[in-house]
């Protein structure tokens, strides 16, 4: 038993699994609700493509009848019963010959490609939203730790003043000030805890969780790291060529062009081929001896020649051209704006204000304990440290959110 107890004491501490940025992204790709919905849209477009590429089914018709007032017994092979069978291809052969089926399939396939690019664009936006929420949750966790540290510092100050007050070495005013600051620190901690709960709940929904996250987040996710050399113009050009929403606009333009060709091709009337067999008796004197007929039917475009469909397709093409131009311009503008925000956020995050504020608080704390600084100076130093620490966390969060925004603008990972 003693050996088991010693082994338990000497065993290394259990590593607590933390949710990293990469793990959050992987979980989102595997089971995120919005990810599944984006895939459903592509599946629906593929189903539409299957329908568009199908040929119309042939029509089989049959009829039976009887002639009244006719004596079939007067001649051999005669009959008063009439039988007929018909088969029509419903213009399926003509649809294939003139290329309408191929054009419909091409339009549907372009729609599938557009849906795939739209899914990628939606996932790009959702990924950026996920990362921003992840960074906000990490900020909330670290802010809670800062608030808890401020509360502990305020509690130590209040306890020391309480002992001094009991010994008659400090006034009741000083003790009251310390108690007020401790209550303010408690309130700040409670607010940080509420913010953390809300952030974790929102992050859990994005990750496809049925409830809030249980594992802690990687605190180092907000630490500054090396930033690769970035050229804004090359990033803008790359975004204009490769961003998913630009690719989706290009696919929509291809679809609109093919749809216009299809609308013009629809002016050609559909020719349906049919075959019919009918008989009413089989002899030479039968009312209708066995007869096979072949026929075609053509609608005459006398009053309408698809003018509305063609005009609509032309308008759709113009709209697709404008949409593509706007998507390219927006991609370049997004990259430039995100790059400017990233540079500004990086500059703020690199300032070492928090270290100086912590050093100042420690010095004032030491001086106050030795009687060389006033209580007001100590309280001011503690409030300043809490404020500066919160602002520094916000600067770090803003920096990583700017990185996510730049990745959203370029359509690729930067770090």
Q: How many CA atoms lie within 13 A of 365 on its CB side?
A: 17
Judge whether 319 and 111 are in contact, CB under 8 Å. Answer: no
Structure tokens at 131: 């990362």
Q: Which of 264, 268, 239, 266 is nearest to 317 (CA)?
A: 264
Q: Which of 413, 411, 107 is nearest to 247 (CA)?
A: 411
User: What residues contact 335, with CB distance under 8 A and at least 6 apart?
Assistant: 232, 235, 236, 239, 406, 409, 410
CA-derived radius of gyration, the chain: 39
State the Cα–Cα distance between residues 379 and 174, nearest whole angstrom.
Answer: 10
Q: In what order do the strands lie in the sheet with 78-88?
A: 59-66, 78-88, 272-281, 288-297
Judge whether 227 and 346 are in contact, CB under 8 Å. Answer: yes
What's the gap between Cα 369 and its chain centre?
56
Structure tokens at 281: 């008796």
Structure tokens at 190: 């409670």
State the Cα–Cα distance between residues 247 and 75, nearest whole angstrom.
Answer: 77
State the Cα–Cα distance between residues 124 and 407, nearest whole angstrom.
Answer: 8
Q: Residue 371: left (phi > 0), alpha (psi -120 to 50), or beta?
A: left
Helices 33-52 and 21-31 sit at what angle, rounded to 10 degrees?
A: 40
Token pair 């007020």 in the structure block, residue: 180
DSSP, res 335 = H
Structure tokens at 393: 């966390």
| pLDDT in single tens digits along all 415 residues of the chain | 445 444 444 444 445 578 888 888 888 888 777 777 878 888 988 998 898 888 889 999 999 988 887 777 778 878 878 899 999 998 888 888 889 889 999 999 999 999 999 888 888 888 898 999 999 999 999 999 888 988 888 888 888 888 888 888 778 888 888 888 889 889 989 999 999 899 998 888 888 887 778 888 888 888 888 888 889 999 999 999 989 999 999 999 999 999 999 999 999 999 999 999 999 877 777 778 888 999 999 999 999 999 999 999 999 999 999 999 999 999 999 999 999 999 999 998 888 788 888 888 888 888 877 878 887 787 888 888 888 888 889 999 999 999 999 999 998 888 7
What's the gap between Cα 56 and its chain centre?
37
DSSP, res 296 = E
State the Cα–Cα distance between residues 14 and 91, nearest whole angstrom.
Answer: 73
Which ranges constitute the DSSP H helices of 167-231? 172-206
Q: How many CA atoms lie within 13 A of 132 on its CB side?
A: 15
State the Cα–Cα distance between residues 83 and 86, nearest whole angstrom.
Answer: 11
Give the bridge partners for 337, in sequence order: none
Structure tokens at 160: 């020391």
Beta carbons within 10 angstroms of residue 363's beta carbon: 13
Residue ranges of domains in the chain, CATH in brackets: 32-296+305-410 (1.20.1600.10)
Q: How many CA atoms lie within 13 A of 409 on its CB side?
A: 26
Token pair 């593509």 in the structure block, residue: 324
């Amino acid at each position: 038993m003693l050996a088991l107890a010693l082994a338990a004491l000497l065993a290394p501490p259990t590593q607590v699994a933390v949710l990293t940025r990469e793990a959050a992204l992987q979980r989102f790709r595997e089971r995120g609700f919005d990810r599944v919905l984006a895939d459903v849209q592509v599946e629906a477009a593929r189903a539409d493509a299957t329908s568009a590429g199908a040929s119309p089914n042939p029509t089989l018709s049959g009829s039976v009848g009887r002639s009244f007032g006719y004596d079939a017994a007067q001649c051999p092979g005669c009959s008063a019963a009439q039988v007929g069978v018909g088969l029509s291809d419903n213009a399926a052969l003509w649809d294939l010959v003139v290329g309408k089926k191929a054009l419909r399939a091409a339009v549907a396939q372009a729609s599938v490609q557009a849906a795939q690019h739209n899914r990628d664009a939606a996932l790009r936006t959702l990924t950026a939203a996920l990362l921003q929420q992840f960074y906000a949750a990490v900020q909330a966790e670290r802010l809670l730790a800062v608030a808890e540290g401020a509360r502990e510092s305020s509690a130590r100050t209040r306890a020391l003043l309480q002992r001094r007050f009991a010994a008659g070495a400090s006034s009741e005013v000083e003790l009251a000030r310390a108690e007020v600051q401790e209550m303010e620190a408690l309130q700040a901690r409670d607010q940080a805890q509420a913010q953390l709960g809300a952030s974790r709940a929102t992050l859990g929904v994005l990750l496809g969780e049925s409830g809030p996250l249980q594992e802690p987040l990687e605190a180092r996710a907000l630490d500054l790291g090396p930033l690769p050399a970035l050229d804004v113009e090359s990033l803008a050009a790359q975004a204009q060529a490769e961003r998913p929403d630009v690719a989706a606009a290009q696919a929509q333009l291809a679809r609109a062009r093919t749809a216009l060709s299809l609308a013009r091709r629809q002016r050609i009337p559909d020719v349906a081929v049919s075959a019919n067999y009918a008989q009413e008796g089989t002899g030479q004197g039968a009312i209708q001896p066995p007869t096979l007929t072949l026929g075609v039917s053509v609608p005459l475009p006398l009053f309408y020649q698809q003018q509305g469909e063609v005009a609509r397709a032309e308008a759709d093409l113009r709209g697709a051209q404008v949409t593509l131009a706007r998507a390219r311009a927006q991609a370049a503008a997004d990259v430039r704006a995100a790059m400017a925000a990233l540079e500004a956020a990086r500059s703020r995050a690199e300032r070492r204000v928090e270290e100086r504020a912590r050093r100042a608080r420690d010095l004032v704390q030491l001086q106050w304990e030795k009687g060389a600084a006033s209580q007001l100076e100590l309280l001011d130093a503690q409030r300043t440290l809490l404020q500066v620490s919160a602002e520094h966390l916000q600067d770090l969060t803003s920096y990583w959110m700017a990185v996510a925004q730049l990745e959203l603008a370029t359509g690729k990972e930067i770090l």
